[in-house]
Amino acid sequence: MSSLPSSATEFAPGLHIRGIAPGLRLQDFKLIAFDMDSTLINIECIDEIADAVGKKAEVAAITEATMRGEIADFKESLRRRVALLQGVPTSALQEVYDQRLQLNPGAEALVKACQAAGLKVLLVSGGFTFFANRVKQRLGIDFARSNLLEEKDGVLTGQVVQQSWGDICDGAEKRRTLLEVASLMGISPRQAIAVGDGANDLPMMGEAGLSVAFHAKPRVRAEAMVAIDSGGLDRLLEVVAA
């Protein structure tokens, strides 16, 4: 496992911090932004959809390289992976949600604690609206942005749909979304917490006042102010008191 910069300290086993003032509280923030796949939930949805057509290994390899930052162009990476989903029946999405998708440990507890402290909750994902909307409803999340898979005659076309804000929610769009929501709320981005695990989360994490890496790729773990390496998302509450 990659080590954090020398300025980081082990706050507790499996929990590292750097650059954080003592006594920080959730009430010091107004917004928390979460990545979805492998952060709020336990899977990379695109990999599991690909399993329906026997292409999980191929798609997962691209996903892993992208999340590690080895493929810099997230948009091109996503287009490549989505193209491999052409012909997948849309019923496969519901099967993935019902049979494979679970909230990660501590996700519900952390979201509830944030809501109780008055924070708004944002889900911003390079994954797909089918899942993001369901997770949003399940957790009572306030805002969500994600990618929309095109479908026709009950099957996926292998394309993503253009939306009002653009076609693909990549790292730059995640950053822009966090800034947009903060602006709409009338707050500074420094009053936001950003939580993620992959390289495409770094742009929004860089804008937030508190960046949190959850079981993250080495590069993300190295740059975050809080790194949760073991246990659930609610371990953030050990660092930032509710």
Spatial separation of the C-alpha atoms in residues 107 and 34, rounded to whole Å: 10
Spatial separation of the C-alpha atoms in residues 33 and 35, rounded to whole Å: 7
Q: Which residues are catalytic?
A: 35, 37
DSSP class of 74: H
Question: What's the gap between Cα 26 and its chain centre?
Answer: 19
A 10 A CB-CB count for 217 gives 22
Q: What are phi and psi of 152, to 5 degrees?
A: -150, 130
Strands 31-34 and 192-196: parallel
Spatial separation of the C-alpha atoms in residues 170 and 189, rounded to whole Å: 19
Token pair recorded at residue 170? 């990549």
